[in-house]
Amino acid sequence: DAGVIQSPRHEVTEMGQEVTLRCKPISGHNSLFWYRQTMMRGLELLIYFNNNVPIDDSGMPEDRFSAKMPNASFSTLKIQPSEPRDSAVYFCASSPILPGPEYGYTFGSGTRLTVV
């Protein structure tokens, strides 16, 4: 299996622009998670999906952030408009079931976003 695939690996954009991050989970995994990692705040769970349905989006920082999962093999995280404080590494992770005792998450390599 190719693992969790994220694109792009790096994104540099200007403040005010729309940014779309993409994720392809592992085939057969029915839970998908978006995390943000910064030096100041560490790893933050933004949102997670189960069977393509958003279950908990309480970590989404504000209305500028939105996430979708139109099918089992694809998810997007969109920031519109982007701001410099959104600069971070964004990780996608997937697991075969809702987080439970036997399974860990498989993480993608992340997208490093820089907003200038």
| Cβ at position 47, least distance to other proteins in Å | 11
Q: In this structure, what are the phi and psi dihedrals at residue 86, rounded to the nearest 5 degrees? A: -85, -10
CB distance 95 to 104 below 8 Å: yes
CB of 35 to other proteins, least distance (A): 9
Query: ∠ CA 30-20-3 to the nearest 5 degrees?
Result: 40
- Give 61 or 103: the residue with its C-beta nearer to other proteins: 103
Which residues form the interface with other proteins (CB under 8 A)? 4, 33, 42-43, 45, 48, 56, 91, 93, 98-110
Phi, psi values for residue 84, rounded to 5°: -55, -35
Whose Cβ is closer to other proteins: residue 66's or residue 106's? 106
